[in-house]
Amino acid sequence: MFHKLRFTTCADIAYDRHVIKLSEKIKKINIDGTIAFNREMKSFTTFKTGGPADIFISAASVEDVIKIKQFAFENDLPVFILGGGANILVSDKGIRGITLYTGDLNMVHGDGTDLICESGIEVSALCESALSRSLSGLEFIYGMPGTAGGALWMNARCYGGEISRIFKWADVLNENNEMERIGFSPADWNYKISPFQKRKILILKACFTLKPGHKDEIRREMDKNYRDREQKGHFKAPCAGSVFKNNRDFGKPSGQIIDEAGLRGLRIGSAVVSDFHANIIVNEGGASATDILELINTVRAKVKESSGFDLEPEVIPVGDWR
Ligand SMILES: Cc1cc2nc3c(=O)[nH]c(=O)nc-3n(C[C@H](O)[C@H](O)[C@H](O)COP(=O)(O)OP(=O)(O)OC[C@H]3O[C@@H](n4cnc5c(N)ncnc54)[C@H](O)[C@@H]3O)c2cc1C
């Protein structure tokens, strides 16, 4: 059977039939990448939880991406773009439509002090590539889970750096399935805000402006940041990094606010507010996405009650949450 028994409404049944029909058609799209059905998302997210993606496609080239997006458009299927899965919470019911995985789009090349990459490259691999070219500017992000595309979409920041500060341009597939180059414009970027969030576009390639550096100094800085993450417990248990954004108006980091509300160690099922950082929720093993979302909502409500601060979630719920 194509799906597990989880559909209840007429619309669900109609959708199910639609996808079953398309599954034959989609196998005939001529792509170099791979297509799978009902692929569990656990191994594609850092929370290590989440239900199946109806149609999971790993694109092997830009041409693949264009064909897949065209197919989705013609057949009225939603497309979710999956990078490293390090900032998302996939519903236990999974993701309807196509999940387009970028992890195999990972080419990188240099052009003077510019570093140009495909969007699915892991940020740490991108840092290693900069190091091999004696280029400095990416050290701050070494060790952060996720892809270049995800880091741009989220405007990732850490250790005094922010991806927007080295961003030069991105080649995207826009809403009309056309290639478009988006250059850096300061007004488009802010704390955890990027121009990609406002539009339904797929980042294919990006260019970062770096500067010449010394290999040993670059390595030292990268290792220092990685070790700091290790010491802070980032890699101890499945998580998605900070659950809530920081808000300058609150005068202190979200972790401290959650701590002061006495919520460290709070749990729902196997989802726990970690003992090493109150703004990180970990999956102690077998936590469902529902447990994690409930814990996020509970922390938010309790903080609001005790301090009046309304924390804004950073982790993105993805998929079928009905
Ligand atoms: C242990 C740990 C530590 C972390 N530390 C930090 C930190 O210090 N700073 C920080 O900012 N974040 C941190 N994070 C969060 C996470 O690493 C970042 O947000 C990262 O940039 C997410 O990238 P991703 O590829 O995993 O994106 P995903 O989680 O796969 O996707 C996130 C969003 O980006 C979109 N997206 C991804 N790729 C593309 C693309 N090619 N085109 C268009 N849209 C795309 C997705 O559709 C989704 O909406 C941490 C996470 C973990 C697990």
pLDDT tens digits along 153-192: 999 999 999 999 999 999 999 999 999 999 999 999 999 9
Q: Where in the chain is the domain with CATH 3.90.78.10?
A: 248-318
Task: Find the mean pLDDT for residues 241-270.
Answer: 97
pLDDT confidence bin for 8, thresholds 50/70/90: low
Q: Where in the chain is the domain with CATH 3.30.43.10?
A: 10-101
Task: Find the mean pLDDT for residues 256-279.
Answer: 97
pLDDT confidence bin for 3, thresholds 50/70/90: very low
Q: Is the pLDDT of residue 2 over 90?
A: no
Q: Is 314 a residue of the active site?
A: yes
Which residue is catalytic, options 118, 139, 221, 314?
Answer: 314
Model pLDDT, residue 135: 98
Pocket of ligand 1 (CB under 6 A): 46, 81-88, 102, 119, 144-147, 149-151, 153-154, 156-158, 196, 202-203, 234, 239-241, 316
Q: Is the pLDDT of residue 256 over 70?
A: yes
Which ligand 1 atom sits closest to the C-alpha of 201? 43
pLDDT confidence bin for 24, thresholds 50/70/90: confident
Model pLDDT, residue 218: 98
Residue closest by Cα to atom 2 of ligand 1: 241
Nearest CA-CA partner of 194 in 165, 161, 160, 174: 165
Nearest CA-CA partner of 298 in 263, 254, 274: 263
CA of 284 to the centre of ligand 1 (A): 21
Model pLDDT, residue 4: 41
* Euclidean distance between CA atoms 138 and 53, whole angstroms: 33
Residue closest by Cα to atom 10 of ligand 1: 156
CA of 203 to the centre of ligand 1 (A): 13
pLDDT (tens digit, 9 = 90+) per residue, 121-140?
999 999 999 999 999 999 99
Percent residues over pLDDT 70 in the chain: 98
106, 146 contact by CB (below 8 A): no
Residue in 46, 61, 79, 87 to alter for ligand 1 test, most ligand atoms within 8 A of Cβ: 87
Task: Find the mean pLDDT for residues 100-115.
Answer: 97
Residue closest by Cα to atom 36 of ligand 1: 150
Domain 248-318 listed as CATH 3.40.50.720: no
- SS3 per residue for the chain: CCCCCCCCCHHHHHHHHHHHHHHHHHHCCCCCCEEEEEEECHHHCCCCCCCEEEEEEECCCHHHHHHHHHHHHHCCCCEEEECCCCCEEECCCCEEEEEEECCCCCCEEEECCEEEEECCCEHHHHHHHHHHCCEECCHHHCCCCCEHHHHHHHCCEECCEEHHHCEEEEEEECCCCCEEEEECCHHHCECCECHHHHCCCEEEEEEEECEECCHHHHHHHHHHHHHHHHHCCCCCCCCCCECECCCHHHCCCHHHHHHHCCCCCCEECCEEECCCCCCEEEECCCCCHHHHHHHHHHHHHHHHHHHCCCCCECCEEECCCC
Which ligand 1 atom sits closest to the C-alpha of 80? 47
The CATH fold assigned to 108-231 is 3.30.465
Q: Where in the chain is the domain with CATH 3.30.465.10?
A: 108-231
Q: What is the CATH code for 10-101? A: 3.30.43.10
CA of 8 to the centre of ligand 1 (A): 33
CA of 318 to the centre of ligand 1 (A): 13
Q: Is 217 a residue of the active site?
A: no
Contacts of residue 243, Cβ cutoff 8 Å, sequence gap at least 6: 254, 279, 280, 281, 296, 299, 313, 314, 315
CA of 111 to the centre of ligand 1 (A): 26
